[in-house]
Structures are given as C-alpha cells and as structure tokens.
Amino acid sequence: MEERKRVEKDIEKLKKAIRKAKELFGEKESIKWAENYLKDGEYYLEKGELFTAFGCVNYGYGLVDSLFIENKVKESLIKEGL
C-alpha cells in the first residue's frame, strides 16, 4: 500500500476508535490526547510529512487501544476492525 493511503487509512481507523471509546467510556483524558494526536497526524499529512503523520496517528491509536484492553472489550471490538 502506498504510504499516503496507509496514513489516510490509519486516520480513519483512529477516528472510528475515538468514536467507539467515547461511546463506551465518555470523556477520558487519554481520549482527549488521542484526539490531539489525530489532529497532529492530519496536520503532518497535509504538510506531506508522512512519517511524522504515521507516528502521531498510531501513537493516538495506542492510547485508545489501551482503554479497550484495560476495560476488557478489545476482543469484542476486533470484529469491528478496531
């Protein structure tokens, strides 16, 4: 997969994960940080800095994913592509 497309795909995955996390857990500090990393990733994608964008987005996803794991819902969310 071409790098830009990969970052765009990961951005969409993070957006979906953030929506689901808010639905399950409400407003959590780690979700707010994930949103910040999402914004950073979008900014760097726009600037063409794909490596930095990829890092930001995946770091943000890790924050949200840790909530899913900690709250023992990760297994059920794998079917949803999260």
- pLDDT digit string (tens) for 33-65? 999 999 999 999 999 999 999 999 999 999 999
- Residues 6 or more apart whose CB falls under 8 angstroms from that of 19 comprise none
pLDDT, position 13: 94
Which residue blocks in the chain are alpha helix, DSSP H? Answer: 3-25, 29-47, 50-70, 74-77
Token pair 């490596």 is found at 51
Q: Cβ distance 21 to 64 under 8 Å?
A: yes
Task: Give 1's pLDDT tier (boundaries 50, 70, 90).
Answer: confident
CATH topology of domain 3-80: Substrate Binding Domain Of Dnak; Chain:A; Domain 2 (1.20.1270)
